[in-house]
Structure 1
């Protein structure tokens, strides 16, 4: 055991430059990294957590009170990982710091030799009883996870239920069940996906030519308030669809004016074309909440844009008349598809079939809410009706556009899909209490992150950006929800 008066390694030195470099690199590691399990904004880097823990758990070999057993074990073990312990206590200190810096590298984090050395030295410093690392506000779980990695016992807690779910899955379920849990998740998740594809087929129909829609590019709309215009303004930041070098696509707005004497306002149609240069692509219609009418060039000030959208709870849904024809609200600009035998994404203009699927989704959600009302509002509302935090909380800025409840962040079609999937997850959870049900809930969270009205389109990657791309909820004018399951 380390005497209380003995200095810890962190008190005398720490390889901060190397550890910082490895911690920064972690942000770009996606495959197999625990951070991909579930989004947590304030997650601590594993590299720095691992390094700091070892530096606090190990004594300084240059301290006169450093246990002889620890120094002997360190000299025996460090040479196996290329850290020369030398002959003096100063050499041993340098070797321990070198090991900490090397072990901070994600590439070494799971190597058996590094795990053996770190655990053996922790045991040599603390005896047979593993030290207990306590993190009362563990959040994403980096500190307790790394404590387990280096051979400690860990106690973690948090006030946030999302953090508690992450901690339970990462610190209890995955270590306890291992690869079997992943196999079970794939099997059960595959069953849910297969059932959902059948149940939700009418909400995401395939194209008649066999192409599969994978994303829909929508724009919220407002009305031009110029007395001589009244056109519908699609709120679009950029008319680019793809900026890939091999596939450059964009939308070209075309103003269609009514015949003289007609009470109808002008309208904007679109064409898809291949621009040769940036100049060919028209500038967007919205910037800093100011909307420019493409028909008369009048500018709608931010307060009027916000007022119009607030009247429709954010304006992410479509309005239909009694004959299921679109009359306003969100407008579908383009559909991204995958065609059989054709490489890469393809882009097409929307059709009546696309809007019919949206209308079907709205009817389904309306029936769902009606059934809940008829039941006397038993249980939770199927659509989250809890209020959003006050304006400005943690960067939440959508409330000023009329999104006041969590359910307002989703379109009717997204709500229908997520409610259906949530029901299937609850069924599986009831049948399989425990780890698989918790992981399915995490998967459902990931779906909600990519299926909201605040997702945008990545022009070069040709993919959907998730809702929490930043640690905030800013307004997204031209939303791009993925195509369901």
Structure 2
């Protein structure tokens, strides 16, 4: 409020700046709630809306519930005086967290009474101490009938790997034992004789040792089991599964036992008895189209309804926990009334704050635990042989086929268990909401962004869907089906629909709209309507800020662009908005950027938008290009300046970040007119902007030394491949250098009539820049990449400290080479240049520190 009053004083007389009326905040695409939560922490009354019911519940859990019940003592009968005292003193939602843990334990204890027999303990061999052991997970393999006629009556396993533990010195693996036309599985605690064979399971290997995707070999005959055969078997309901091993809790390590340690026949009989009673009611039978990642290839593997993602035992377990969460609500209300909770009788859904509302708040968090249990308790969860635990299904935005799977024990205390998930929820609440108080104001509602009026007179900042990147509605259906089963009686409006609303979701999904062109049109029209609505309702004193991180991925001779950006920016233009500024924000964890298989965006681009002036004029193509050439170089220099107080934009983000200043020129005019009088398209504008970026990067070539210019041109033609010595010598002469001289400089090799550039991995570690009499910028750049990749930022900084005069040239060459590699599709090479830029600030800081320890670095 103090900051707001100061702002109003500076803007006295301007509409919207009223000192006693602090503006509220709204995010109309709230999603997981990051932006509205941070707005609330800054002191703004925060509104979050989303079409997706799962998102709405997440936002209720972080925006509405914590402030409503902050500072209250727990109500459970076992609450200690220590907890009560700490809570009364204002420890955020410690009391709520304590109650969540208590009533979750009641749910677990009751679940053990009801379905504990489905997860029996196993007898431990004498070498492991004997007695009973708690199963962590059951390791299964999918099976098909052998395609070999001699064994067509046998269900043979499809196994991606036989490793149970792959840590060095901790190897444990499954070994199949063949008995004529049958087989068993045994467990081996030792380093395998043939590690590659164990690692590949029954996968079909090519001559080069690489696996053929979705293809296996018959364990009995060696006959190939091809993908189309597996598809046909699955289509006809003949894809089964068989247990291979059991992981058990041990005192010091995991214990792995063979399949005969558990009596699955007995367990299956009990499962069927439970299913025949009450548990078939309310199972998730919705169609799972759009969720399974292999749908594009027509491979469904028998997954047609959401219940197909789970074994019978998992369905019984999840249904039981869902029912128990509904049951525990009444127990919480009774205990809250005994603890003299306030007398408000309205439920949370109606804005209540009494015993019923408090019980609703607790079961919201318990429902999240059920969803996480489904994420870690389905028949597509992989066993992770490094961490030796089940790995969650949603490691990416899609569901992938898993041939082997780990069925976790939710009644244990290990990964995937109810106990572990509740501990995680309470730990997160105590850490992140320790300072929350009743003064925090938050609201979460379900609403379509294109039609809502919540934005009226509010500050708006939002992260909308990225064209066709992720189908949020399809993916969240996996969680919605269980959340709805648990919470629908208490939040009937939010969970009124059987499935997550999809028709209105602003994602360009061809299967929903009939074709890609229809999907594009839907996204364009929908986003235009939404942005028009936001511009109309937003607080007039503030700009509309939009996060967008859709990577420009379509590259050709005309430059880099993407349909996602074109369509989104066209919607911005159609909505009558002008981009007045852009902020590239580093939003990704740095550890994610190094060593990944893809060049992940390091930044989100924030577009700052205001309504276009009603009297905005048009401009010619020539004038537009002239203005780009005047304004873009300064903007680009700011982005890649690389100063400690102004961190550089990563190479992978440069094309993204440059969209902002370029489109700010394009969008401020009513139209940019081509020579024939037609309106310039956004696609053409993006290509022109990218050409200016290229020209800026290429302009630095004139400052490069002759050796580097040669390498740059040779790399453009040959990459790291060999070329004829004669051609190399001609190019070297044209650039004012020699092949022999560059060989002595240590940047290429020549012999037998061939020449090739050395890769960064081939540069010597003992190189000292101050002692090198011939150091091309090319060599300096690749030595820094080598140091970063092999030795880390400190060593790279030490090299940097020894050549301060080359810093700008090195950085610019890295940007230039990244762009070149991206356009040629050399993603592995591009990654190295991007990682250097992403680490530039840390390297510069290390160089600065190195200089203060005795190295001459005044020029840096």
With normalisation by structure 1, the TM-score equals 0.64
Q: Distance in 1 between matches of 2:310 and 2:24?
A: 43
CA contact (8 A) 1:312 1:402 kept: yes
Q: CA deviation at 1:484?
A: 2.4
5+ long unaligned stretches in structure 2: 70-92, 124-130, 204-211, 334-355, 412-860
Q: Structure 1 residues 358-367 or 422-431, which shifts more?
A: 358-367
Greater RCO structure (CA 8 Å; 6+ sep) = 1
- The residue that corresponds to 2:314 in the other structure is 414
- Partners of 2:277 and 2:393 lie apart in 1 by 25
Question: Is the counterpart of residue 270 in structure 1 residue 185 in structure 2?
Answer: yes
Partner of 1:78: none
Number of aligned residues: 340
CA apart distance, 1:271: 1.9
Aligned partners of 1:364, 1:59: CA distance in 2, in Å?
69
Q: CA deviation at 1:351?
A: 1.8
Q: Which residue of 2 aligns with 1:423?
A: 323
1:167 aligns with 59
* One of 140, 152, 170 as aligned partner of 1:218: 140
Q: Distance in 1 between matches of 2:214 and 2:243?
A: 20
Rounded to whole Å, the distance in 2 between the matches of 1:156 and 1:455 is: 32
Task: Give 1:134 shift.
Answer: 0.9
For residues 400-459 of structure 1, what are the alpha-carbon distances to aligned partners after superposition, in whole Å with 9 as ceiling and x for unaligned?
A: 211100000000110111111111011123554420111111111111111100111111
Query: What is the RMSD computed on CA atoms of the aligned residues?
Result: 2.9
Q: Which stretch of structure 1 is more off in the superposition, 278-287 or 139-148?
A: 278-287
Please report how far the alpha carbon of residue 393 of structure 1 lies from its aligned counterpart in structure 2 after TM superposition: 7.0
Within the candidate set 376, 379, 386, 1:450 is matched to 376
Query: Larger Rg: 1 or 2?
Result: 2
Asked whether 1:67 is paired with 2:10, we answer yes
CA distance in 1 between counterparts of 2:220 and 2:157 reads 11
Correspondences of 1:365-376 after superposition (within 5 Å): 365-368=274-277
Give the CA deviation at 1:302: 0.9
Indicate the structure with greater helix content: 2
State the partner residue of 2:697: none
Separation of aligned partners in 2, 1:305 and 1:164: 40
1:297 to 219, 222, 238: 222
Q: 1:58 to 1:137 in 2, by over 3 A?
A: farther
Q: TM-score, normalised by structure 2?
A: 0.37
Q: Among residues 189, 201, 217, which one is paired with 2:116 in the alignment?
A: 201
> How do 1:21-420 and structure 2 match up within 5 A?
67=10, 127-177=19-69, 178-208=93-123, 209-230=131-152, 231-257=154-180, 266-277=181-192, 279-280=194-195, 281-282=197-198, 283-286=200-203, 287-312=212-237, 315=239, 329-339=240-250, 342-351=251-260, 353-368=262-277, 381-390=281-290, 400-420=300-320
Does the Cα contact within 8 Å between 2:217 and 2:224 map onto a contact in 1? yes
Equivalent position of 1:263 in the other structure: none
Unaligned runs of 5+ in 1: 3-53, 70-124, 258-265, 316-328, 373-380
Q: Which position in structure 2 is the counterpart of 1:23? A: none
Residues 232 and 267 in structure 1, CA contact (< 8 A), matched pair in contact too:
no
* Counterpart residue number, 2:404: 478
Give the 3 Å change call, closer, same or farther, for CA 394–58 of structure 1 in structure 2. Answer: farther
1:213/1:337 contact within 8 Å kept: yes
Partner Cα separation in structure 1 for residue 109 and residue 102 of structure 2:
11
Q: How far apart, in 2, do the equivalents of 1:393 and 1:305 lie?
A: 17
Residue 66 to residue 301, structure 1, CA distance change in 2 (3 Å): farther
Displacement of 1:68 in angstroms is 9.2
Distance 1:59 1:441 in 2: 44
Q: Spell out, residue by residue over 1:181-238, the C-alpha distance to the aligned partner (whole angstroms, 9 max, x if none).
A: 1011001001111111121121000113211111110011011111223242211100
Q: 2:365 aligns with which of 439, 442, 451?
A: 439
1:102-129: CA deviations, max 9, x gaps?
xxxxxxxxxxxxxxxxxxxxxxx97443
Contact 1:203 1:360 in 2 (8 A): no
**Separation in 2, partners of 1:348, 1:385:** 35
Displacement of 1:289 in angstroms is 1.5
